[in-house]
């Protein structure tokens, strides 16, 4: 669903007069908050490429955490932090590490070999009316309800309306979690520490 349609849905529900900019900010905050709850299936993405001549390759800007790396048919596990001193350029054992979006595989792959990275992405930041989030349309109501709850969290908002919207959001979130678990099994919820 496009940003313009999500903003319209919020405007229909919320009892406040909000600008297009304020609505967009609420949508993006709600998307980030929902994405931080767990590693949702729609945020699990794959990137493929050919290894460059350098020691590292740059990951997509949307990559939040890397799950797995395969280079030239060989799977690499994450390197323990104590084994990857990126500033000194010293690495013990084998594996991969990511620092500042730079993916490093040890030992360094040969230039020109294929690689695949599986990662959990950040939700898209929406700006243009035609922008679309990664969250499936089936779950947009959760974004709308959370954004409405956030809108009523402002000084001009109503506590009763905030609570009503937040309760509806929590019910939708439970349904989303159940559907996600049914697709791939139970997972412990987690919150990314760097999400505001």
pLDDT bracket for residue 191 (50, 70, 90): very low
By residue range, what is the domain housing residue 29?
3-40+135-183
Confidence grade of residue 152 (pLDDT, cut at 50, 70, 90):
confident
Q: Cα(126)–Cα(4) distance, rounded to whole angstroms?
A: 10
131 versus 155: which is more confidently predicted? 131
Q: What is the pLDDT of residues 70-127, one digit of tens each?
A: 999 999 888 865 555 555 555 666 788 888 888 988 888 999 999 999 999 999 899 9
Dihedrals φ, ψ of 140, to 5°?
Answer: -60, -30
In a domain, 35, yes or no: yes
Residue 101 included in any domain: yes
Q: What percent of the chain is predicted at pLDDT more than 70?
A: 84
* Structural domains counted in the chain: 2
Give the span between the Cα atoms of 184 and 165, in whole angstroms. Answer: 29
Residue 98 within a domain:
yes
In the Cβ-directed half-sphere of 160, how many Cα atoms lie within 13 Å?
A: 1
| Residues 98, 116 within the same domain | yes
In angstroms, the CA 62 to CA 112 distance is 24
Name the domain boundary from 66, 87, 120. 120
Q: Of the candidates 67, 91, 120, which is a domain's last residue?
A: 120
47 and 91 co-located in one domain? yes
Same domain for 164 and 102: no
Could you tell me if 69 and 112 lie in one domain? yes
Looking at residue 176, what is its pLDDT? 94
Cα–Cα distance between 14 and 67 in angstroms, integer? 38
User: Is there a single domain that holds both residue 115 and residue 61?
Assistant: yes
Q: What is the pLDDT of residues 154-177, one digit of tens each?
A: 666 678 888 899 999 999 999 999
- With respect to residue 57, please indicate whether it lies within any of the assigned structural domains: yes
| Reported confidence tier of residue 192, pLDDT bands at 50, 70, 90 | very low
Does residue 191 fall inside a structural domain? no
Pairwise pLDDT comparison (12 vs 191), residue with the higher score: 12
- Residue 190 in any domain: the answer is no
Q: Which two tokens stand for residue 14?
A: 């919320």
Do residues 112 and 173 both lie within one domain?
Answer: no
Give yes or no: residues 53 and 111 share one domain: yes
Please identify, among 75, 92, 120, the residue that sits at the C-terminal boundary of a domain.
Answer: 120
pTM over 0.85: no
Distance CA 44, CA 121 (A): 6
Q: How far apart are CA 45 and CA 87, in angstroms?
A: 28
């Amino acid at each position: 669903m496009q940003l313009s349609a999500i903003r319209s849905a919020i405007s229909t529900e919320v009892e406040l007069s909000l600008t297009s900019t304020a609505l967009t900010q609420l949508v993006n905050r709600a998307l980030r908050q929902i994405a931080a709850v767990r590693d949702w299936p729609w945020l699990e993405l794959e990137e493929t490429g050919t290894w460059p001549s350098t020691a590292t390759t740059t990951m997509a800007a949307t990559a939040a955490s890397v799950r797995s790396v395969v280079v030239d048919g060989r799977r690499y596990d994450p390197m323990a932090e104590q084994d990857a001193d990126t500033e000194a350029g010293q690495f013990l054992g084998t594996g991969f590490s990511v620092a500042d979006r730079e993916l490093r595989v040890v030992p360094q792959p040969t230039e020109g070999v294929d690689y695949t990275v599986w990662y959990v992405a950040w939700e898209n930041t929406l700006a243009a009316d035609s922008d679309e989030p990664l969250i499936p349309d089936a779950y947009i109501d959760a974004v709308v309800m959370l954004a409405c709850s956030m809108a009523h969290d402002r000084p001009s908002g109503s506590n009763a309306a905030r609570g009503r919207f937040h309760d509806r959001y929590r019910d939708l979130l439970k349904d989303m979690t159940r559907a996600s678990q049914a697709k791939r099994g139970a997972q412990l919820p987690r919150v990314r520490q760097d999400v505001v």
